[in-house]
Structure 1
Amino acid sequence: MTEASGSDRARRGVCALATRISAVLVVGTLTLTGCGVFEQTNERITSVANAFADALNNDDLAAAAAVTTDPTAAAATVAALYDGLGKDARFEVRDVDDDARTFTLAATWKLGRDGENEWTYTTTGTAEKTGDGWRIGWDPATVAPGLDIGPLTYSPVYPNPARVLDNAGGELMSQQVVTLVNLSPGVDTAAVAALLSPIAPTITARSLRTDLEAAQGKQVTAITLRPSDLGPIQDALSAMPNVTLAPQTRLLTTDKDLASPTLAGLSELWQSEADAAAGWAVRAQTATGTQRIAGQEPVPTSNIRTTLDMRLQRAADAALDPITTPAAIVALQPSTGNIVAMAQNSAADAQGPIALTGLYPPGSTFKTVTVSAALQAGAVTPQTIVACPASANIEGRRIPNDNNFELGEVPLHTAFAQSCNTTMGRLAVALPPNALTDAAAQLGMGIDYLTPGLTTVTGSVPAADTPALRVEGGIGQRTVTASPFGMAMVAASLARGSAPNPTLVAGAPGIPDRTPPALPATVADQVRTMMRETITAGTATQLRDIPGLLGKTGTAEFIDDTHAHGWFVGIDGDLAFAVFISDANSSGPAVNAAGRMLRAR
């Protein structure tokens, strides 16, 4: 119920007194009539004000307009208000004053995509008695402050844009103005293609026609251009019929040739931080511009400093340039978990961020996990003499060595360095079902990390409940899968002696979903020693010129064993990395790519 004003209470007191006096003097008829007029007026003002508020609360534009003195103007104004602010608002009538015939309207708006911003205010409205009864005297300011100035709109207000920096503080990404080249039906596609194809060779008159046909009469964006690309052709494009140039602001790399699967995640992080810091404003549109009516100022944001080493990033990019099939390189600093480079070629980009989330059989690079599990089980030492036949039938699965090479009886470290499948298959089959799963987890594989700026999958190493599964798992096949990021984590964990928390944004390390038991220090030392022999006398001797390098090659079969991916994982001081090349048919191209990167950094 609306609380009575001071004048209301005074009038009611007078009415009560008049009633008592009338009983004695019998002269109260006029007084009572006056009180009846007062009560009737108050109730009718309250009634029409509540009807107006209820209609607004119910988003009933017609009903709200109908109780005003100018329904046509009211309907148009409130419709525009809903367009500008949305409809998430609540209105309440307070403080009816019958003398002034006014009331207070209190409102609360929920603004923004999720209603995260709240605008509250009170306004004063008037009621008028007309030939059709009581009406709200139409005044746009009764509904919202500033609405009498012009239509109201809501918009977020962002702080000065932050920059994304590399690990040395150099600018990696910043907000820049780009221009969308939009085409409408009827455009001269040949003329547009002639201007755009030097910038984007895939754009042709035919491709533009195909895009327009698929849009079914709607406008299409042919390309988005930076100022340096737009400048020489801007006048020619602007003069073409059915071509529209639309400027926008976007977060872009400072070097337009830089590409990395980390950029998408960094862009999302940048946007989320900008959104969290944003203020808001309600503005009235006037003939000369806008006037701010209400709002909240944004909170300043800080630059995002990443862990990326641009010298190494460019070396990794260049190392993949000669490769035509999808390929990726991920490099970390084991001591910190900092991601220092992450590269993909264009063939990989067409498939998505395979460096981060692509899952493939890791092949012989997984033997780092297999020997770690076998050493921890106490079944062998690096000096244990093991058999390395050209092929072996293990639990009904024929396991061959690459090109059927044979070593005979050799120490385990030699079998590892030469990547003997038959040896590793026999080691794995003797392990418990969870041995490979647990050893992989110690090296960060199969662990999920919540890392600011990154979405990653390390891989999957399910428990091998049958001997056949353990044989396949021991050589990185069948149910075992890994991402390039996951295998880089394995290398970094062996270098460090424990799994580091991967970090892309300085000071914001990833959080693992679980923490497995620590890897015994002696086991890490032994595996690293065997990885060194892979370089000096094993399957990656083409990298012997790189001092102190450790590594493990891998060939992983797929598509009915008729194709194979190529892998190489390595440790070079405080640098650990994984190289993956799809459908390479051997580890050689991956080893060579690693060499190109390491020699150029």
Structure 2
Amino acid sequence: MLSRCRADRSVRPGRAATLAMAVTAVGACCAALTSCSSEPAGASAVIHDYAAAVSQQNISRAASLTTAPGQAGDALTATMDGMHATNVEAQVVRTVGYSDGTAGFTLKTTYRWDTGTDSERAARQFVVKTQGMARNVSTGWRVQWEPAVIYPGLRPGGRIRNIRTDARPAPRVLARTGKPFMVMEPINEVVIDPGRTEDLGRTVGAVARVIAPMAPQITADVILHKISARPGEPVVAVELRDPDMQVLAGDPGKIRGVSVRRTDRLVMTDRRLSSPLEDGLTNYWQAIRDVTSGWQITVQQPGEAPQRLDGRQGAAGPNIATTIDPRIQSAVGTAAVEVAQPTTILALDGRSGGILGMGQNDTAIDRGISIDGEYATGSALSAVFDAVTAYAKSHNSGTEESLDRLGLGVALTVPGASSPQRNGLGVERIDFRPGEIRASMLNVGALGVALGRVLAGERSSVAPYIITGQQTKVAAGKLGALDGELVRPILDAMVATVRRGDASDLTDSKGLRALVGTNGPDGPGWFLGLVDNTVIVVYTEGERAGTAALQAVQKYLKVRSR
């Protein structure tokens, strides 16, 4: 870069001497700032201080070292927020001073993101070189503010961003038949912002009328309840798929205080289905999307489409094969909503342990009932604990191993269905008191699968699972071989319960074996059944919880063959 140094013209030496002096002057000016400015050390200091502040992502400090702190602060904030880099390194690679009281510099800025291995971190960085100027103003040397200091050619209001990219096509969640059970689809969120309407009641009423053809259950009272739960905040009144939008009674986006926010989401292909398993499957699906995600650096200039600067995107993730049976999922979902009390139903394959479906009514959702929460078992499993105790006495052994192998004494973490929060059996293992045992629906389901496998000729227990190829983590004990002497009394008790016990009034129950009971008059109630090589676990809460569990089972038995 050429310097604009002024030569002293008071003496006119010869041509050779003049050339030599000129060369010397230019070389001196380009070698360092100290030769061609009134305060070259100040210019060098402020440029390096600015670079250091950027490296520290200290926006206020960096902005204060410019000629326009407000504009610089806004632009740098947009940059740091948009790039969200783990590490930023701004390095001054060249400076040059000019005799007109300015100084130039070249800045190399490297943005880095921690992504795991050293090779991944090396690949995940973005480097940009920019040119800038510094000048001496009334407050001292300052970096002349231009957005181009951030990125070459950047204009006021422009920004560079690091955005996530996702591989296409998105993985699908498949049912046990191989057909799609959940897929990613566009979702339209109808959002009400109380701060953008002068008459909230009128707005809510208008929204309820517009969405009534597709979501009649979302009334004005329902929406107002949502709003009251989050005072002053925007609230999603309803979520609709694209086809739903075509049958509304109007455009909700035209209502004052209402906007329609479009997003992509994993949803069930059959809109009639809903399941507590949806969250776990979505989390597993999202984990695959995260692992296969890519990145892209873009520059956004005012009034222009984003321009790609750099990035990387790998291949799409695989589809997710599950054990879900849509027919059984529909049956357990229908059965659960038919009961007024909090009711949750889990169905599993009686031989493999694959989870076939899980249904839950709104009151159970409100109570936070989960597949791996621990609940008192009460009298429902009395026959199981009697058999465990008798087996331990006859074999002069403890109860721990039997409880473990039956699935009750272990902690189960099922990828795609549960979270690793449980600690195993809800009593001290060395102090076995059946009346105090707490278990999860997964534990009771594992018990049912163990019994089902014995009926099928298998003499060992297995862990429930939902993602094909993903092994359930078993902790705090081991599953394993089952002795007929332990299991036979339990199966006999299940037959007796259906023939002449609490489950004897059930109809459509051919081949059913069951245990049912409560933890006192206030519940909870449990039902464990085996029918058609399917394990059915029902958990209810409230008064007459045992009766409620039987009501849910009766409904399931009626709709299972539809």
TM interval, shorter chain, is 0.7 to 0.9
Residue 121 (str. 1) matches residue 127 (str. 2):
yes
Q: Is the 8 A contact 1:494 1:527 kept in 2?
A: no
Q: Is the 8 A contact 1:446 1:460 kept in 2?
A: yes
Q: How does 1:433-444 map to 2 (within 5 A)?
A: 435=399, 437-444=400-407
- Give CA deviations for 1:356-399 in whole Å, capped at 9, x if unaligned: 425132423242233133124317xxxxxxxxxxxxxxxxxxxx
One-letter amino acid of the counterpart of residue 55, structure 2:
N
Distance in 1 of aligned mates of 2:535 and 2:225: 46
Q: Is the 8 A contact 1:568 1:591 kept in 2?
A: yes
Distance in 1 of aligned mates of 2:62 and 2:523: 71
Shift of 1:481: 1.4
Equivalent residue number for residue 264 of structure 1 = 279
Residues paired across the two proteins, number: 511
Seen in structure 2, the aligned counterparts of structure 1 residues 146 and 298 have a Cα distance that, compared at 3 Å, is farther
Equivalent residue number for residue 452 of structure 1 = 415
Residue 64 (str. 1) matches residue 57 (str. 2):
no
- Give CA deviations for 1:430-483 in whole Å, capped at 9, x if unaligned: x98x52x442222111311222112165963524877xx74xx1xxx3x21123
The TM-score, its normalising length taken from structure 1, stands at 0.73
Unaligned 5+ segments in structure 2 are 1-19, 454-458
One-letter amino acid of the counterpart of residue 49, structure 2:
A
Give 2:150's match in structure 1, choosing from 133, 143, 147. Answer: 143
Residue 157 (str. 1) matches residue 162 (str. 2):
no
Give 2:329's match in structure 1, choosing from 313, 327, 331. Answer: 313
Q: Is the 8 A contact 1:535 1:549 kept in 2?
A: no
- Give CA deviations for 1:115-163 in whole Å, capped at 9, x if unaligned: 9894231414355665777665655444345645931122211122222
SS at match of 2:518: strand
Give 1:50's match in structure 2, choosing from 36, 48, 51. Answer: 48
One-letter amino acid of the counterpart of residue 153, structure 1:
R
One-letter amino acid of the counterpart of residue 354, structure 2:
N
Give 1:229's match in structure 2, choosing from 233, 236, 244. Answer: 244
Seen in structure 2, the aligned counterparts of structure 1 residues 506 and 145 have a Cα distance that, compared at 3 Å, is farther
Distance in 1 of aligned mates of 2:318 and 2:408: 33
- Give CA deviations for 1:60-99 in whole Å, capped at 9, x if unaligned: 4455345557667544533432342247543343543659
Equivalent residue number for residue 106 of structure 1 = 108
Q: Is the 8 A contact 1:446 1:458 kept in 2?
A: no
Distance in 1 of aligned mates of 2:127 and 2:179: 46
Equivalent residue number for residue 179 of structure 2 = 170
Equivalent residue number for residue 506 of structure 1 = 468
Seen in structure 2, the aligned counterparts of structure 1 residues 587 and 126 have a Cα distance that, compared at 3 Å, is closer
Q: Is the 8 A contact 1:344 1:355 kept in 2?
A: no
Q: Is the 8 A contact 2:371 2:418 kept in 1?
A: no
Unaligned 5+ segments in structure 1 are 1-27, 380-430
The TM-score, its normalising length taken from structure 2, stands at 0.77
- Give CA deviations for 1:18-52 in whole Å, capped at 9, x if unaligned: xxxxxxxxxx9999999876455388465443122
Equivalent residue number for residue 263 of structure 2 = 248
Equivalent residue number for residue 13 of structure 1 = none
Residue 285 (str. 1) matches residue 308 (str. 2):
no
Q: How does 1:177-216 map to 2 (within 5 A)?
A: 177-183=186-192, 184=194, 185=197, 186-187=199-200, 188=202, 189-197=204-212, 199-201=214-216, 203-209=218-224, 211-212=226-227, 215-216=230-231
One-letter amino acid of the counterpart of residue 304, structure 2:
T
Equivalent residue number for residue 329 of structure 1 = 345
Distance in 2 of aligned mates of 1:507 and 1:480: 32
Seen in structure 2, the aligned counterparts of structure 1 residues 113 and 519 have a Cα distance that, compared at 3 Å, is closer
Residue 462 (str. 1) matches residue 427 (str. 2):
yes
Larger Rg: 1
Equivalent residue number for residue 401 of structure 1 = none
Q: Percent identity?
A: 23
One-letter amino acid of the counterpart of residue 296, structure 2:
A
Q: How does 1:74-93 map to 2 (within 5 A)?
A: 74-86=72-84, 88-93=86-91
Seen in structure 2, the aligned counterparts of structure 1 residues 366 and 298 have a Cα distance that, compared at 3 Å, is farther
Equivalent residue number for residue 41 of structure 1 = 34
Give the RMSD, CA atoms, in angstroms: 4.0
Distance in 2 of aligned mates of 1:66 and 1:355: 55
Seen in structure 2, the aligned counterparts of structure 1 residues 367 and 584 have a Cα distance that, compared at 3 Å, is farther
One-letter amino acid of the counterpart of residue 277, structure 2:
T
Q: Which moved more, 1:272-281 or 1:312-321?
A: 312-321
Distance in 1 of aligned mates of 2:70 and 2:444: 69
SS at match of 2:355: strand
Shift of 1:290: 0.8
Shift of 1:578: 1.9
Q: Is the 8 A contact 1:494 1:524 kept in 2?
A: no
- Give CA deviations for 1:389-436 in whole Å, capped at 9, x if unaligned: xxxxxxxxxxxxxxxxxxxxxxxxxxxxxxxxxxxxxxxxxx98x52x
